[in-house]
Amino acid sequence: MKAVRFSTFGAPEVLQTVDLPDPHPGPGQVRIAVRAAGLNPSDWKKRQGLMDEQLPQTLGHEAAGIVDELGAGVTDVAVGDRVFGFSAEAGAQAELAVLSHYAPIPSSLDFAGAAALPAAIETATRALDQLGVKGGCTLLVNGASGSVGSAAVQLAVVREARVIGTASPANHDYLRSLGAEPVAYGAGLVERVRALAPGGVDLALDVAGSGVLAELIDLAGAPQHVVTLADFVGAQECGVTFSRGDTGRAVHVLAEIGELIDSGRFALPVAQTFPLADIVRAHRVGEAGHGRGKLVLLVG
């Protein structure tokens, strides 16, 4: 099968599409013929050598496609079913991928739309679970217009929380459409949030990692009321929880998201798609920043 791999760290040009042995599912897993795979900032961080040290590396943790092989004990899907989910190991940006957690693709989504979901909805749900977001609370989301931020906004609204979201003014109408009250980020953030919520907020989620944890603690009242997804050093300095997947993933959301999508209560736009062979350009676009929506590779 064809798969994305790099053997040295560096610029996007180190990425190659290579032939690798076909993977096979273990117990409880399924193999899919991949039709689309999501791209994430962790992909370029890995390629640059900022996250994992081993070489060579294959890339991709989320994909959507058609089941073509079942592992032992799998009874909830059949060969030919459309599913999306997480690869057992990195390697979903390929013609074939093994999924360890999966769910049926919502009927209203194509493969690209489904491949955009897993990382964003799992990350957002994990953080909301860690914060204990529920109805009646006020949540501040710093960096609310990106894939993870917009997922967090919508999922918090589903939980009947009041949501205030930071974004550039160009994205304020978008945040309003998701059910959030927008504020601009940057100097004066605390004052702008207090203009909407004079007593501060109950909880705060930092998606952007823009160095505002002290302000979020001020607004939320204590470090334990704040979770960051992007500021590891700041979390250590401020006593804030840094949410990471190796402490337990919120994979339950894969089975829950379909009903929210089909009922119109959740949407995650795809900003741009690329063929698998165009992986170098996809990384260039991703690193340059692309605004709202997800980047997705199309396979097959």
Domains of the chain: 2-116+269-298 (3.90.180.10), 121-246 (3.40.50.720)
pLDDT digits (tens, 9 = 90+) for 154-184: 999 999 999 999 999 999 999 999 999 999 9
pLDDT surpassing 80 at residue 246: no
**Looking at the DSSP assignment, which residues form a beta bridge with residue 241?**
227
Contact 183, 169 (CB under 8 A): no
Check whether 208 has a pLDDT greater than 70: yes
Provide the mean pLDDT of the chain: 95
Instruction: Using the CB atoms, write b or e for 188-227: b if 16+ within 10 Å.
Output: ebeebbeeebeebbbbbbbbbbbebbebbbbbbeebebbb
How far is residue 296's CA from residue 300's CA, in Å, rounded to a whole number? 13
What DSSP state is assigned to residue 94?
B
Q: What pTM, to 2 d.p., does this model score?
A: 0.93
The yes-or-no verdict on residue 291 having pLDDT over 70 is no
Q: How far apart are CA 97 and CA 86, in angstroms?
A: 9
Helix, strand, coil proportions of the chain in percent (round to 5)? Answer: 35, 25, 40
